[in-house]
Structures are given as structure tokens and as C-alpha cells.
């Protein structure tokens, strides 16, 4: 199944039914009076999170959804039947944005969570409501109110605790294959991974976290180079970033310079994202003699002025991988427990994630707009730069697989 992480849809809630003008007509009941019923309420439109889907591809083919209108009122003070609500099923991790106001309506992060996105119109009033001491036979009723009409942008961000970042061929996909049952494609050429991959990492009994493998970044990604930052938004929900560095690049480049590229692109795209806790993973140590590893580690740490955690691993052989997994599990559990015990810390965390979500969304949209402006200028002959028309092709599809270990 193709994975689409953005879609724009139009939703129209149902209009309310009309109230009617009616009078009681019954034998031996002269001047029965008004008995016009009210109109029924129009159907609402909801968005609901479901764990049985992981793509927004359905909303690329059906882009308009309308709830039915309420029925008109009837005689004998019978109200019209209200219309049924409609529910749009989306994957967990979907953000709903009002296109007109560019404001976030809500974020669906739990199974079964529902969000009202368009409210149905109320029904009109029948003439019964207008009876008074001076008007015993009112011939007035009101029409139903119109339902809300909105254009919505659905943005899917994978829900993961840990995000893997690094240059292409740093070993990210091999790492997630080592620790989970996810099976992303692995090959010895850049951009083997073109899409996000998710894996559930089991650590002992009843202990697990979700890891996301993000396509590699390159220099200039924040300006659209390579795959740009198209998929970088998928690490906006993570608690930790694993920064994988190839200590023996096949092209002979310097690992320190390569790590700086990623740090620079993160900061250029989103300073809030760059401030997430990062763990430096010096990968492919199987290519370094054992007696030279500590010196290599010290050189890279000093060159980057790295103050955080550092691990040395070989994702090919599995050396050092378990230590990383256990460290991550303990850190994530400690953070979750602190959020439950300390309301102030939990509030600060929520505020930080809201800022991060907002910044990532705005920066992603700004880059898209800039890219589209470049394409338009190129078509008009104003600019002759070579651009890849597929960089932001909204129809590019991928598959994301949740796989238990």
C-alpha cells in the first residue's frame, strides 16, 4: 500500500432541516392551533484515529465529503430526523489543519481519538414556537442553518520514541533491522531508504519503544537538496534522536565533517528540533582495528565538541547495539515516569512538543512554497537551475510497516 503523508480534503457538514407551518386539523377540535415541527439537525463531520491504517492515500482519490442534511419538520409537532454523522478514518499521528486560517484544529495521537471538524447546522423552528397571546395562528417558520464548510489539510507524522538521523549509507536501516523486525531495504548506494520505516523494539518483557528510520540527509537539505527535509517532519514527535556517523566512509570523507553537516541541517531547518536530546552513534567500528577505536572516538568527540552520550557500534555484526537499546529504553521510561509524577515537567514537555510541531510544520510549508516558486520561475524562463520535479511530488508513495521484534 502506498504511503501518503499529506492530503487536502473538503468537508461539508449537513444543513439543518426546515421548520414547517402546520395547523392541527381534527374533528371536533376547532381552532386546533399551530403544530408545525422543527427541522432535524444536519450531520457532523468527525476525524477518527485508527491503527488499522497507516497512510492517507484514500484521500488522494476522494477529496470531498458531505454529511446529509436533516429532515424537515412534520405536522403534529413532529421534529425532523437528524442526519447521521460521518467519520473520516486517519492513521494515528495525523494533524488536522484548517487551510483557510492555517490553524491546527487538533492532533490525533491515540487509537479511537475523535475530532469534530465541521458542525452540522441546527434545524429550523416550526410555527409552534411563534404562537403568542396576540398571534394564535402564526404562519411563520424558519429555515435550517447551514452546516460548516471547511478545507482541511491532513498531515501524517509517524509516532515514534526514537528517530534515526544521519547521512545516506550511515547504517540507519541496518541498525533498525538489528533491533526490530522491520526490514527496510539495505544496499551499498546512497538513498537506498526513500521513505520512513518504523520498527517496534522489544526490550525484555513488556518493555518496548518505537524507532523511526528517516531517509538520509545531505548538505543543503534544508534548501531542498537531495530528498530535502520532506521526511524530517516525521521525527518531530520523537523523544530522542540517534545520530549515526560512519567512522570509515567509503568515499574517504571525514566523519567529523559529515556529522557537522547533519547538525547544521537540523539547526537550519528547525532550532527546536536541533535541541532534542541526541545520542552520537559511531557506527561501522568493525572496519576499525580494536586498538585504534578509542583514539578514533576521542578524536571525533573532540572535533565535534560533543557533550552528550556516545556509543560505538557495528550494525553489521551487532556489536554495541544492545547497549544502545537498553540505554534508550531506560531513558524513555524514566522520562515517562517523571511526566506522570511531576505535572510541571509534563506541562513543559507538552509545551515543547507543541512548539516543535508548529515550527516543523511552518518550516516544511515554507520550503515547499519556495520550491514551487522556483519551479514556476523555471517554467517561465526566469531561472535556469536544474530542479528535480519529483522532490515535492505529493503523489510519491511509500510504505510504513509497524513490525514487532
Measure the CA–CA gap between 231 and 252, rounded to whole angstroms.
Answer: 27
pLDDT averaged per 10 residues in sequence order, the chain, 405 residues: 73 95 84 89 94 81 92 92 94 88 87 93 93 89 94 83 82 79 46 60 79 71 56 74 87 87 82 84 89 91 90 88 89 88 86 77 70 74 51 44 44
Q: Which residues make Cβ contacts (< 8 Å) with residue 170, sequence separation at least 6?
A: 216, 244, 245, 246, 258, 283
Query: Which pLDDT value is given to residue 39?
Result: 95
Residue 20 included in any domain: yes
Question: Do 29 and 149 share a domain, yes or no?
Answer: yes
Among positive and negative, which fits the CA dihedral 392, 394, 399, 400? Answer: positive
Q: CB–CB of 147/119 below 8 Å?
A: yes
Q: Is the pTM of this model over 0.85?
A: no
Question: Do 149 and 224 share a domain, yes or no?
Answer: no
* Residue that finishes a domain, picked among 134, 156, 178: 156
Residue 389 included in any domain: no
Residue 403 included in any domain: no
Question: Do 198 and 262 share a domain, yes or no?
Answer: yes
* 3 state SS of 186: coil
Any idea what the CATH number is for the domain that residue 70 is in? 2.70.210.12
Residue 396 included in any domain: no
Question: Do 22 and 122 share a domain, yes or no?
Answer: yes
Residue 388 included in any domain: no
* Residue that finishes a domain, picked among 104, 122, 156: 156
Q: Which residues make Cβ contacts (< 8 Å) with residue 136, sequence separation at least 6?
A: 31, 33
DSSP 269-333: H-HHHHTS-EEEEEE-GGGS-GGGHHHHHHHHHHHHT--S-EEE-BTTTTBTHHHHHHHHHHHHH
Beta strands in 32-169 (DSSP E): 45-50, 64-66, 86-91, 94-98, 103-108, 114-118, 149-156, 162-165
The helix (H) or strand (E) run that includes residue 377 is helix 343-379
Query: Which pLDDT value is given to residue 192?
Result: 43
Question: Do 127 and 175 share a domain, yes or no?
Answer: no
Query: Which pLDDT value is given to residue 392?
Result: 44
Q: Which three cell numbers stand for residue 373?
A: 516558486
Question: Do 343 and 227 share a domain, yes or no?
Answer: yes
Question: Do 240 and 340 share a domain, yes or no?
Answer: yes
* Long-range contacts (CB closer than 8 Å, 24 or more residues apart) made by 306-310: 306/280, 308/277, 308/278, 308/279, 308/280, 309/279, 309/280, 310/279, 310/280, 310/282
Query: Which pLDDT value is given to residue 397?
Result: 43
Question: Do 199 and 90 share a domain, yes or no?
Answer: no
* 3 state SS of 374: helix
Q: CB–CB of 209/198 below 8 Å?
A: no
Question: Do 150 and 168 share a domain, yes or no?
Answer: no
Query: Which pLDDT value is given to residue 390?
Result: 47
Residue 59 included in any domain: yes
Question: Do 113 and 236 share a domain, yes or no?
Answer: no
Residue 387 included in any domain: no
Measure the CA–CA gap between 46 and 216, rounded to whole angstroms.
Answer: 36
Measure the CA–CA gap between 193 and 11, rounded to whole angstroms.
Answer: 35
Question: Do 190 and 260 share a domain, yes or no?
Answer: yes
Residue 328 included in any domain: yes
Measure the CA–CA gap between 195 and 57, rounded to whole angstroms.
Answer: 15
Strand ordering across the sheet containing 94-98: 64-66, 6-12, 149-156, 94-98, 103-108
The helix (H) or strand (E) run that includes residue 358 is helix 343-379
In terms of Cα–Cα distance, which of 90, 84, 79 is closest to 67? 84
* Domain range enclosing 239: 162-379
Question: Do 286 and 197 share a domain, yes or no?
Answer: yes
Total tally of structural domains belonging to the chain: 2
* Residue that finishes a domain, picked among 126, 156, 186: 156
Query: Which pLDDT value is given to residue 10?
Result: 95
Measure the CA–CA gap between 61 and 1, rounded to whole angstroms.
Answer: 14
Any idea what the CATH number is for the domain that residue 375 is in? 3.40.50.300
Amino acid at each position: 500500500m502506498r504511503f501518503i503523508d499529506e492530503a487536502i480534503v473538503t468537508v461539508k457538514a449537513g444543513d439543518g432541516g426546515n421548520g414547517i407551518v402546520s395547523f392541527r386539523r381534527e374533528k371536533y377540535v376547532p381552532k386546533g392551533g399551530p403544530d408545525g415541527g422543527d427541522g432535524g439537525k444536519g450531520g457532523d463531520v468527525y476525524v477518527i484515529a485508527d491503527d488499522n491504517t497507516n497512510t492517507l492515500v484514500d484521500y488522494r482519490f476522494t477529496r470531498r465529503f458531505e454529511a446529509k442534511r436533516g429532515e424537515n419538520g412534520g405536522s403534529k409537532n413532529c421534529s425532523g430526523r437528524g442526519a447521521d454523522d460521518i467519520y473520516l478514518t486517519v492513521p494515528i499521528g495525523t494533524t488536522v489543519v484548517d487551510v483557510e486560517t492555517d490553524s491546527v484544529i487538533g492532533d490525533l495521537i491515540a487509537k479511537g481519538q475523535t475530532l469534530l471538524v465541521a458542525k452540522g447546522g441546527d434545524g429550523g423552528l416550526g410555527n409552534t414556537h411563534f404562537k403568542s397571546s396576540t398571534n394564535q395562528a402564526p404562519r411563520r417558520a424558519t429555515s435550517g442553518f447551514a452546516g460548516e464548510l471547511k478545507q482541511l489539510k491532513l498531515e501524517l507524522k509517524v509516532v515514534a520514541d526514537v528517530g534515526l538521523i544521519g547521512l545516506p549509507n550511515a547504517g540507519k536501516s541496518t541498525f533498525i533491522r538489528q533491533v526490530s523486525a522491520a526490514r527496510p531495504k539495505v544496499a551499498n548506494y546512497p538513498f537506498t531508504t526513500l521513505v520512513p520505516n518504523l520498527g517496534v523494539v522489544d526490550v525484555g518483557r513488556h518493555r518496548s519503544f518505537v524507532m523511526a528510520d528517516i531517509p538520509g540527509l545531505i548538505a543543503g537539505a534544508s534548501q531542498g537538496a537531495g530528498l530535502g527535509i520532506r521526511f524530517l517532519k516525521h521525527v518531530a514527535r520523537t523523544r530522542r534522536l540517534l545520530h549515526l556517523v560512519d567512522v570509515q566512509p567509503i568515499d574517504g570523507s571525514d566523519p567529523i565533517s559529515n556529522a557537522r553537516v547533519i547538525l547544521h541541517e537540523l539547526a537550519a531547518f528547525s532550532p527546536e528540533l536541533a535541541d532534542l536530546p541526541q545520542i552520537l552513534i559511531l557506527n561501522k567500528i568493525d572496519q576499525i582495528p580494536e586498538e585504534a577505536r578509542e583514539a578514533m572516538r576521542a578524536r571525533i568527540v573532540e572535533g565535534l565538541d560533543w557533550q552528550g552520550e556516545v556509543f560505538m557500534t557495528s550494525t553489521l555484526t551487532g556489536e554495541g547495539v544492545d547497549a544502545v537499546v537498553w540505554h534508550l529504553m531506560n531513558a524513555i521510561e524514566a522520562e515517562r515516569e517523571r511526566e506522570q509524577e511531576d505535572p510541571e515537567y509534563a506541562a513543559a514537555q507538552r509545551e515543547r512538543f507543541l512548539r516543535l510541531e508548529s515550527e516543523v510544520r511552518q518550516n516544511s510549508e515554507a520550503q515547499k512554497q519556495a520550491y514551487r516558486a522556483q519551479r514556476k520561475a523555471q517554467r517561465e524562463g526566469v531561472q535556469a537551475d536544474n530542479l528535480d520535479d519529483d522532490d515535492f511530488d505529493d503523489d510519491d508513495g511509500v510504505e510504513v510497516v509497524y513490525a514487532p521484534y
